[in-house]
Chain A
Amino acid sequence: MTPGILHPLLAYARLGWKRTAGNPLGLVGSVLLYWLILAIFWGLWGATPLHELGAAGLTEERLLAYLAVTEWIAFAVGLPYREVEAEIQDGTIDMRLAHPIAFGLTTLAVWIGEVGCRYVVLGIAGLAALAYAAGAIAPSLPGAAVLLLSAALAMLLVLLWHLQIGFAAAWLGISAPTFWIWQKCLFVFGGLIMPLTIYPASLGAIARASPFAAMLFAPASLMLDGGADGAASTITLQVTWLAISVLAAVAVERAALRRFLERGT
C-alpha cells in the first residue's frame, strides 16, 4: 500500500465513523441491547451451578466479563456484509468499481471507521456494565492494552470475512444464506456465550483450530486469566488468521471482479 492511498482510505474511514456517529439512535439501541444480553446471562449464570461445568476458577464475574468481550465484538461489527450484497444486487458497485481505488480496500476502510465508533461507545458501555454488575474485575493496565489490541484485531478479522460473505452475492445473487451458516459457526466455534475451555475436548480442539476462535474466544479469554498472561499466543494466533484472511479476501474479491468484468453486474 503506497502512502498516496492512505489519505483516501482515511477519508473513507472518517466517512464510516461519521455515518455511525450520525445515527445516535442506532448507537443507543446497540448499547441497550448489549446491556440487556449481559443482564440476561448475568441472571442466568446466577442460577447455574458453575462449579459443575468442570472449569476451575470460572466464576459468574469472569463469565460475564468473557461475554462482555464477545458481545462487544459482535455488536461493534454488526452486519456490514449486507452493504456489499446490496451494492451487487442493485448494481451500485459499478460506480465504486469505476473509482481509482480497489473496492475491497475502500469498503474495509469505511467499515473500520464505523466499527471504530462502535468499538469506543460499546467498549465504554461494556466497562460500565462490568463495573456495575461484577465490581472490579478489570484486567491490569498491560492486560487492558492487550485486550484493546486483541479486540481490534478480532473485529478486523470478522470484517474481512464479512467482505467475503458480501461477495458471495456475485455468484449466488444473495449473501444472507452464507452469512447465516457462517454466523452459526462463529457463535459455536468462536465461543460466543461460553469459553472453549469448557467445551468437550474434541469439539474444543476443532473450535480452537478454526478461525472463529481468533474472532471471539481469543480476545475474550484474556478476561478469564486476568489479562496479559496469554497475550503473546493470543496475538500471534490472531495475526496468523488475519494474514490468511487477507489472502482469502483478496482472492475472493479478484474472483468476484473477474466475474463482474466478464458478465456485468
Chain B
Amino acid sequence: MAAIAVEHLSKTFRSRQRVAGARGRLRDLLTRQVPRDVPAVSDLSFEIAAGERVAFIGPNGAGKSTTLKILTGILDPTSGHAEVARLVPWRQRRQLAGHIGIVFGQRSQLWYHLPVRASLDLIAAIYSIDRATYVSRLAGLVERLEIADLLDRAVSQLSLGQRIRAEIVAALLHAPKILLLDEPTIGLDVTAKAALRDHLNALSREERTTVLLTSHDTGDIERICERVILIDHGRLLLDLPLERLRRDFLKLRTIVLATDEEHPRLELRGVATVVSEPYRLSLAVDVAVTPIERVVETALAQLSLRDIVIENPPLEAVIAAIYRGETGPRVPP
C-alpha cells in the first residue's frame, strides 16, 4: 500500500515582475502588469510504499519544497492528485496532521524562549496524547536522540544541532507513520550531521516510518535513504534505488590527507591526485575500482598521517553528471 501517492501533480505560481526603486514602485502602481506563470512542479508522479525511505533531491528551485508543502497540505496544487496516508492533503490538512511529522530545517515548531519540555507538553496536548503514552514515548525518543539534558533548557540556548534533535522529537512525538524532512541537516557541523543521520536511520527502521527527505547533502541520502527521486524544474528526472545511484553516480570520494612527509604520494588504481602541496594530499577515489577502506589502509601503512578527511561528492556534481548523461562525476586524470 502506498503511503504517499502523487499523480500528475503540478503547481504554477503567478508572479508580477517588480521593478526596484521608488520609480519602479510608482510604475507598478500606475500600470497593471500581466502576471507571469512560473511553473514550480510539472506533471510529477511517484509512489512511496509504507516504510520506504526516499530522498527527494534536486538543485535549488527544482520544486522539492513546493512538493513537500503540497504533501503537508499547506499549499494547493494547480492540478493533479496526491494522497498521503490515504488523505488528500489540501482538503484534509487537519486530519492529515495526525499522520505526518514534519521537520523543516530552517523552521521551528518549538517555542523559542521556553524550555523544550514546554513545547513538547503542548504538542502532546495538540495531538491528544494521553499522559502514560506521552511519558513513555518521550522517554524513548529522549534516549534515542540524547536530549535528556536539553529538556529543561530554553530553545534559544540550544545549538543548531541540539535544536534539530529536539525538533525531531517534537515531530515524532505523536508517532506519525510518515516523516517529511526538508533539509534536516542544513547548517550542522560534520559530527552533528553524522549523529543525526544515525538517529534518523535507526528510528525510521525501528518504527517502520515512511521517510521523504530533501537534502543537498549526499551524505544524508546515503545514510538514511534506500531510494532516490531526482527532480529538476519541477519534473521527474530519475527515480531509482540508492544502490544504483551509488553504483552509477556516487562512486567518487575525496580524501584529504595531512601528513608528516613534506611531499606525500599515494598510488593506487582508481585513485587520482587532485592537489599535492607540502604536507597535504588531496585524492579523488573511484570507489567502484578501489574501496575507500583500502585507500585509508594504504595511506596509514605508507604515510605518517596527522589527519584524514573523507568527503562526499557535492550533490551538484552528481546532478551535473546525471544531466550530462554520464555515469557519475569523473576522477580527474
Residues of A within 8 A of B (CB): 4, 7-8, 10-12, 15, 18-19, 22-23, 90-92, 94-102, 260-265
Contact = CB atoms under 8 A, between A and B. Distances in A.
Interface stretch (B97-105, B214-222, B269-277, B323-331): B97-105
Q: Is the interface of B mostly helix, strand, loop or mixed?
A: mixed
Interface residues of B, number: 33
B95 interface: yes
A98 B108 CA distance: 12
A260 B69 CA distance: 11
30 contacts: A7-B125, A10-B125, A11-B122, A11-B126, A12-B122, A15-B111, A15-B114, A15-B119, A18-B114, A91-B107, A92-B107, A92-B108, A94-B74, A94-B104, A95-B102, A95-B104, A96-B109, A97-B93, A98-B73, A98-B74, A98-B100, A99-B109, A100-B95, A100-B126, A260-B74, A261-B74, A261-B76, A261-B90, A264-B13, A264-B69
Contacts of B151: none
Contacts of A263: 13-14
B69 A94 contact: yes
Given A11-B126, A15-B114, A94-B74, 19 more contacts: A8-B128, A11-B121, A11-B125, A19-B111, A19-B114, A22-B114, A94-B104, A95-B102, A95-B104, A95-B107, A96-B109, A97-B93, A98-B93, A100-B95, A101-B126, A261-B75, A261-B76, A263-B13, A264-B13
A99 B97 contact: yes
B126 A99 contact: yes
A51 B41 CA distance: 71
A7 B134 CA distance: 15
A214 B210 CA distance: 52
Nearest to A98: B72
Contact of A264 (B75, B102, B104, B128): B75
B94 A15 contact: no
B113 A22 contact: yes
A98 B107 CA distance: 12
Contacts of A94: 69, 72, 74, 104, 107
A265 B74 contact: yes
B128 A4 contact: yes
Interface in B198-256: none
Contacts of B100: 98
Contacts of B107: 90-92, 94-95
Contacts of B127: 100
A12 B106 CA distance: 23
A264 B98 CA distance: 22
A7 B123 CA distance: 11
Interface string B42-58: 00000000000000000
A23 B74 CA distance: 33
A132 B114 CA distance: 36
A141 to B, nearest CB: 36
